Each structure stands twice: as C-alpha cells, then as structure tokens.
C-alpha cells in the first residue's frame, strides 16, 4: 500500500452545483490524504491529470445525467493509459438502479450524498493497490 495516498478529485463534466466534491476533498485531507482538486473536467483531462499526478484514487462527483457515459469513459481511458490499478470512485446523486451498471463498467464503489466520511476513507484504505 502507498505510504501517502494520492487522490485526484474532479467534478464530472459541467456539473457546477454540487459542492460535495470540495467538501470531500477537505475531509480526505483531514484524514491524512494528499488530494489534488481539479474542479470541473471532462474524462480526457481527468485521465491526463491522473497520469501526471500518479493517482492512487480518482474520485468523480456528479449530479447525475452524465454518470453512465462519462464515468465508464474515465475507466476505459485510464486502462488505455496503462493505469489499471487506480481505484475509481463515484459520488453524488446517482439513481440506485444505475449503480450495478457502473460497477460492471469498473467503478469500484459509488457513494451517495449521505455517505459518511469514515465509510469512504475505510473503503479507500482497504482497496488502494
């Protein structure tokens, strides 16, 4: 396991309303992680940033609407770049019936707006390669 977990956090696409990504970034920092915050980005830029930063974890936040297309796209593009051991998480407002599809596409876990920070950090610590 990495000594210092590095997380790359992005808001997916054009979602600008959900402040959860910023709050979560701070919380992960307070849990001892090193978190790169990207703001709003499309998959290509997120993947490029993950390559440059050497991310252990990529966190994607979304308000819904674009998650089924853009989420799996990030997974696919990371694999293309040879980063197949990166843990990819999604958070935000996502209809429960979509979660199995996302997991099948390679998203490791999906966290709703009510998720506790401990749940998220435990998941990260237990699953980072």
Partner 1 sequence: MLNIEEGKIKQFLQQNNPYALGKLLREIENRPESSHRIMRFVYGYGGKAHVIGITGPPGVGKSTLIEKLAGHWAEQGLEIGVLCIDPTSPFSGGALLGDRIRMQNLTESDRVFIKSLASRDAGGGMPIYAFDMIKLFEAFGKDIVLVETVGTGQLEFRISEVADTVALVTGPGTGDAIQTIKAGIMEIAELYIVNQSDRPGSEETVRDLKMMVSESVGKRWVPPVLETTATKKRGITELSEELSRHKKYLESSGLWQERRRERNRKFFTRLLFEHCWQKINKHINHDQEIRDKISQVEQEKCDPYSLLHEVLSATLKIDG
Which residues in this chain contact partner 1 in the complex, by CB under 8 A?
Answer: 2-4, 6, 25-26, 28-41, 44-45, 48-49, 51-54, 81-83
CB of 98 vs partner 1, minimal distance in Å? 27
Are the CB atoms for 81 and 51 separated by under 8 Å?
A: yes
Nearer to partner 1, 78 or 94 (CB): 78
C-alpha to C-alpha distance for 73 and 70, rounded to whole angstroms? 5
Nearer to partner 1, 47 or 110 (CB): 47
Q: Which helix (H) or strand (E) holds 8?
A: strand 6-12
CB of 34 vs partner 1, minimal distance in Å? 5
Question: Looking up tokens 């979602």, which residue turns up?
Answer: 15
Nearer to partner 1, 58 or 102 (CB): 58
């Amino acid at each position: 396991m990495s000594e210092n977990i590095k997380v790359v956090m992005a808001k997916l696409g054009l979602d600008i309303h959900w402040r959860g990504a910023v709050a979560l970034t701070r919380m992960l920092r307070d849990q001892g992680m090193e978190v790169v915050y990207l703001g709003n980005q499309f998959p290509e830029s997120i993947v490029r940033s993950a390559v440059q930063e050497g991310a252990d974890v990529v966190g994607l936040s979304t308000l819904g609407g674009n998650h089924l297309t853009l989420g799996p796209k990030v997974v696919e593009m990371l694999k293309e770049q040879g980063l197949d051991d990166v843990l990819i998480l999604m958070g935000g407002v996502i209809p429960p019936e979509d979660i199995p599809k996302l997991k099948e596409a390679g998203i490791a876990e999906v966290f709703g707006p009510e998720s506790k920070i401990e749940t998220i950090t435990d998941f990260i610590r237990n699953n980072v390669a």
